[in-house]
Structure 1
Amino acid sequence: MALALSKRLGGLSMAAKESQSPSLPETGLLLVGMGMGRLEGMTTEAIQAATQADHRRYEAYTALWPEDELARLEATVGPVQRVMRPEVEEPEELFALAKDSLVALLVVGDPLQATTHVDLQLRAREAGIECHVFHGISITSVVTGAVGLSNYKFGRQTTLTYPYGDWIATSPMEVLAANWEQNLHTLALLDLDPTGLGTGDQRPMRPEDAVQSMRLMWEKLQETVDEPLSEDYVRLAFRQMATKLYLQQNFDDIPVVLCADMGTPEQAIVTTTLGALGDEKGGRLNSLVFPAGTGEVEEKAVLRWKRGE
């Protein structure tokens, strides 16, 4: 460590002459958080870990980086190979490499945000493979503050999925309804894969896709909303009642905040309604926040993102 003059404070501060690279084993698996969509959003430690790895794999099915930023990343840390869902959920190839070399799995956001990667970490441990984690900034930590809603007032998050054939998942709207009934805000991530296979051909959901998906959920839930409440399971009965109350609203009037390309220079936030959401262009990657009851500060914070405000 060396003493360096602090220009901001006009005094002395402690600064390292150079950043120290993380101490890593010769073999094993590194779960490396990439942050929100650009090289500058990765931690120094994460970049150093990726650079030191013998092999780098970019997990490209739970979230995506822009192609130009991926090129910058490769220029910084070395060649990166893209992998999809099968390679991560059936990690025999990854583990075989990790037993004889150091393998970095690069994950957009934080590497342990998805259950898939926690499972991978546990399976690596069972296989006797040393696993190190380098955390990153994730959508869940960025959105709440950026929008202006209290982090303490968010309920369970959910993901809006594409309809697959005749199958329409209604659980995202049921989660939204349960949160709303408890006066909790909801963060809804948007699907990337119309096929549901996680093998490629991805098309991140746009605002108009999200509206269409939610309308289908709404219509399907309307078919069962008057069924008797469960007498055996309290939680199920609560979910049924919350959904019934939520569906009494006017779909088009439900407030929603569109969050596009968060954590990047292209970041954009728009407060609108479900009826008008489909008119929004959105960005490369989008997510939605559904506010519940808002306090005075929250209300002002959310209203500043309305068009024309």
Structure 2
Amino acid sequence: MLRLIGIGLSIDMLPLGNLKKILSCDEIVVDSYTSIWFPSAYLLTSLLIQLGKTVIIAPRNYLEGSEVKNLIKRALDKEVCILVTGDPLIATTHSSIITEALANNVEVEVVPAASIFNVSISLSCLQVYRFGKIVTVVSPKNGIVYEYPYDVIKMNRLQNLHTLLLLEIDVEKNYYMKPYEAIKILLDIQERREENIISLKDIAIILGDVLSCRQKIWILTIEEILRMQYEFLYNKLYTMIIPSRKLHPVEEECLNLIRKGKMSYLCAISEEELKKIAQLIYNQ
């Protein structure tokens, strides 16, 4: 069997049922390149190794190249699990692995978990049914500017919808786009087009290192994001929301309270507690 198991965004969000299935695996492959798990994927990896599990830290070419075929072959006669930060299929390319496995008569199980999508929307105080298309902002490559994110914001704003923006990350190159970088890219596109979809007075919601012990939420104007670059030195992973210009009164009130620092997140599970929970499940 091949299992794709979501491990949530952090130690606090690793579901017990998912942990139990992980501990039943004969071979565990940890996706190390699509995102970061807080406090560290190596914490989970070392715990599994201490419990006698075979663990492979997989770079991109391991799960997207020829190695996938070997992994699927091994899943014919033993339980192989791929651990993915967040949800195993939302915003990842792992659906191709499922297709390949099923085509080779390998039984597949997908085990969902909380992803950056639902968590960001939940923390934003914005109404979920008022979100439009989601898009990732990426930096220019070889002089080519990817303008589609701007088009998505434009389309959503014309329909009075909020836009959830994922910011480019490259774990293997240790590159994590900052909010002000994303804003500069979008404003450059807007200037070339001579449009006015994004104003310097518009607000944006920025979520840093979501569900980690250093999680932070900012409600800032576009102008403030560009001016306060020092604010974004201490967090690593960022998600950004460009709200509709027309907010529901409840949304507006909630955002005003977040701006005043009325919402917080306190870490619940320590590393030692996770070890005790895992050992308890494993020894049953």
- The TM-score normalised by the length of structure 2 is 0.81
What residue is the counterpart of 2:126 in the other structure? 149
- Point out where structure 2 has 5 or more consecutive residues left out of the alignment: 263-284
Quick one: which of 25, 30, 37 aligns to 2:10? 37
The superposition leaves residues 194-251 of structure 1 with CA deviations (integer Å, 9 ceiling, x where unpaired) of xxxx8x213111223222332333344x1xx6xxxxxxxxxxxxxxxxxxxxx32564
Larger Rg: 1
Report the AA paired with residue 188 of structure 1: L
What residue is the counterpart of 1:257 in the other structure? 205
Residues 157-166 or 208-217, more deviating: 208-217
More RCO (CA 8 Å, sep 6+): 2
Question: By how many angstroms is 1:116 displaced?
Answer: 1.2
Aligned to 2:259, what secondary structure does the other structure show? coil
Aligned-partner Cα distance in 1 for 2:124–2:198 = 24
Question: By how many angstroms is 1:161 displaced?
Answer: 0.8
Contact 1:161 / 1:169 at 8 angstroms: preserved in 2? yes
Aligned-partner Cα distance in 2 for 1:122–1:82 = 22
Aligned-partner Cα distance in 1 for 2:101–2:189 = 38
What residue is the counterpart of 2:40 in the other structure? 69
Question: By how many angstroms is 1:130 displaced?
Answer: 1.0
What residue is the counterpart of 2:279 in the other structure? none
Superposed, 1:94-109 pairs within 5 Å as: 94-109=71-86
Contact 1:47 / 1:77 at 8 angstroms: preserved in 2? no
Contact 2:187 / 2:198 at 8 angstroms: preserved in 1? no
Residue 41 of structure 2 corresponds to residue 88 of structure 1: no
Aligned-partner Cα distance in 2 for 1:192–1:143 = 17
The superposition leaves residues 152-207 of structure 1 with CA deviations (integer Å, 9 ceiling, x where unpaired) of 110111111121120110001111110111011011011112xxxx8x21311122
Aligned-pair identity in percent equals 26
Residue 240 of structure 2 corresponds to residue 288 of structure 1: yes
Quick one: which of 119, 133, 140 aligns to 2:110? 133
What residue is the counterpart of 1:176 in the other structure? 153
The superposition leaves residues 74-127 of structure 1 with CA deviations (integer Å, 9 ceiling, x where unpaired) of 243335322233222232232132223221111111112025122322221112
Aligned-partner Cα distance in 1 for 2:198–2:122 = 28
Aligned-partner Cα distance in 1 for 2:36–2:158 = 33
Superposed, 1:206-285 pairs within 5 Å as: 206-220=178-192, 222=193, 247-249=195-197, 251-278=199-226, 279=228, 280-281=231-232, 283-285=235-237
Could you say if the C-alpha distance between residues 218 and 80 of structure 1 is closer, same or farther in structure 2, counting changes exceeding 3 Å?
Answer: farther
Aligned to 1:140, what secondary structure does the other structure show? helix
Aligned-partner Cα distance in 2 for 1:163–1:136 = 32
- The TM-score normalised by the length of structure 1 is 0.75
Report the AA paired with residue 40 of structure 2: E
Segments of 4+ in structure 1 off by > 3 A? none
Aligned-partner Cα distance in 2 for 1:203–1:80 = 25
Could you say if the C-alpha distance between residues 142 and 250 of structure 1 is closer, same or farther in structure 2, counting changes exceeding 3 Å?
Answer: closer
Report the AA paired with residue 33 of structure 2: Y
C-alpha RMSD over aligned residues = 2.1
Contact 1:87 / 1:94 at 8 angstroms: preserved in 2? no
Aligned-partner Cα distance in 1 for 2:257–2:110 = 37
Could you say if the C-alpha distance between residues 216 and 103 of structure 1 is closer, same or farther in structure 2, counting changes exceeding 3 Å?
Answer: farther
Could you say if the C-alpha distance between residues 307 and 249 of structure 1 is closer, same or farther in structure 2, counting changes exceeding 3 Å?
Answer: farther
Aligned-partner Cα distance in 2 for 1:250–1:132 = 43
Aligned-partner Cα distance in 2 for 1:53–1:216 = 49
Question: By how many angstroms is 1:285 displaced?
Answer: 0.9
Residues 279-288 or 292-301, more deviating: 279-288
Aligned-partner Cα distance in 1 for 2:90–2:261 = 35
Aligned-partner Cα distance in 2 for 1:301–1:89 = 42
